[in-house]
Amino acid sequence: MNSQIQNAARIVPSARQLAWQELEFYSFIHFGVNTYTDKEWGLGDEDPAIFNPVEFDAKQWVDVCKSAGMKGLILTCKHHDGFCLWPSAFTEHSVKNSPWRGGNGDLVKEVANACREGGIRFGVYLSPWDRHDQRYGSSLYNDYFKDQLRELLTQYGDIFCVWFDGACGEGPNGLKQVYDWDGYYEVIRECQPNAVISVCGPDVRWCGNEAGHTRESEWSVVPAELQDCEKIQENSQHVDDGEFSKRANSRDENLGSREAIDGKDKLIWYPAEVNTSIRPGWFYHASEDEQVRSLEELLNIYYKSVGGNATFLLNLPPDKRGLIHENDAKRMAELGQTIRSTFQHNLASHAHASATEILNQNHAVDRLFDGNKSTFWCPREGTEHASIEIDLNQEQTFDTIVLKEHVLTGQRIEKLKLEYLDQATWKPLTECTTIGYKRICRFTSVSARHIRLTIEESRLFPTLSAFEVYLRPRSFSALKCKDGVLAHPGHPHQ
């Protein structure tokens, strides 16, 4: 094994990155003047008087998120139009000049408080592009932006994420801004050192599209140059043409394989987030009330993102009342119920196993079943191939297996296969490439007592911290899994 692969195997997440990944599934809330103009992108000339969500209820937003099993909420505190959902001291273009709450409201505060009371995390989106502020295009704007960051990061409690996109169009004066990214990051690290900086930031990588597309092999260890991709103006979104949200760039399909990292000067832990909206648009449009994504669609994205070593950021746009629409709320409740029903009973919780090799008793193979994310199985260093046989103690019917690496040791596994024992013959269940934080493998249900996992390729030595077995609810067991086709035993499927 060459030194670069050994180095890649030893790269691990920061504490903030791991805490973020453990949230797994959280919401984006796009809300602002666009909600009232029926636009996706405001022009910056909107009158604050149009903003008046008379039935606004932050608790309803949080309750909807929790019904789906989401563990966080990221609010668009300011979108490209420049209108601020908090009474910023640095601009008049905010809720303080709207009729909502008589001009005395602070929507960011109400949402942050509702998240805290509801037991989910709160994050902020602040658009660097500002089509309203006359300072845009000058160094004064960078100072203004940092002042606003300080307001958001010092007045609303703990923030788990600061989410930046790279949109960089013209301001009201026809100028474009050179963003002071390093200066923005300094403010965030100073004010909220535990917050991840996402997309145009050093902690969390955009999956590359807004369509819910995921990769077959999602590596968290990738070339450091990827940190700059979304910050390059030529790659940013300039036009609201509807095509950007559909883009799934196939040239970025392979980011962390041995071939992809070969010869790269620096590698980093830079995990992926999959983001998409529950509707065609990101802001609310009444015309889309009947275009809410189906349960099957959302489950498929969930399994491929959360179950594919990424997180899932799903946008839920509140309507003009200030409420998440009934259709969206109903779908979220259905999604949450299905996920909870699927993963409520781990059929391997009392399983036993044997492995071809273990490092020592502290890393014995039964660590897979102890429910402790800090313990793990591994063989000796240099062992890149290994096999584990699992005994469920009795015959069980199952169609889902969850695997987790011990990512604080690194991401190592490159290829594996799963089999089940049918009488005296091992028969294929499925195969996959990377695991990382979590891999959810789905297939047509089988009944068996014994399962075999064979790690065919890994870096340095593999680790596993969890092996879980489940049966999906019957009404959802025949959902389409991949490209419209359910994976059958013997057919590879992620």
Question: DSSP characters for 42-72?
Answer: --S---GGG---TT--HHHHHHHHHHTT--E
92 burial class (0-12, 13-18, 19+ CB within 10 angstroms)?
exposed
Radius of gyration over every alpha carbon of the chain, rounded to an integer in angstroms: 24
Amino acid at 166: G
Q: Is the dihedral of CA 346, 352, 357, 360 positive or negative?
A: positive
| pLDDT recorded at residue 248 | 29
Per the CB < 8 A criterion, the answer to whether 399 and 477 are in contact is: yes
In the sheet that 205-206 helps form, which strands lie side by side, from edge to edge? 196-199, 161-164, 121-126, 72-78, 25-29, 310-315, 272-277, 205-206
Residue 279: HSE in the Cβ half-sphere, 13 Å Cα cutoff: 24
Across 343-465, the runs of DSSP E, i.e. the strands, are 352-355, 386-404, 413-422, 425-432, 439-458
Read off the DSSP letter of residue 94: B
CA dist., res. 260 & res. 256, Å (int): 5
Pairing of strands 72-78, 25-29: parallel
Q: Is the dihedral of CA 298, 250, 413, 163 positive or negative?
A: negative
Location of structure tokens 């408080």? 113
CA dist., res. 148 & res. 421, Å (int): 60
| pLDDT recorded at residue 166 | 86
H/E segment holding residue 202: none
Cβ atoms within 10 Å, residue 297: 16
CA dist., res. 54 & res. 322, Å (int): 7
| pLDDT recorded at residue 57 | 98
CA dist., res. 117 & res. 200, Å (int): 30
Question: DSSP characters for 155-167?
Answer: SSS--SEEEE---
| pLDDT recorded at residue 474 | 82
Per the CB < 8 A criterion, the answer to whether 119 and 72 are in contact is: no
Q: How far is CA 386 from CA 161, 258, 359, 383, 492, in A?
A: 38, 20, 12, 7, 19
- Token pair in block for residue 283: 């802001």
CA dist., res. 148 & res. 140, Å (int): 13
| pLDDT recorded at residue 472 | 95
Phi, psi angle pair for 6, to nearest 5°: -60, -40
| pLDDT recorded at residue 207 | 84
| pLDDT recorded at residue 230 | 66
For 336-375, b/e burial (b = at least 16 CB within 10 A) is bbbbebbeeebbbeebebebeebbeeebbbebbbeeeeeb
Residues in the chain: 494
For the chain (494 residues), the mean pLDDT of every run of 10, in chain order, is 91 98 98 98 97 98 98 98 98 98 98 98 98 97 98 98 93 95 98 97 87 86 87 52 40 84 94 96 98 97 96 98 98 98 97 97 97 97 97 98 98 98 97 98 98 98 98 67 38 31
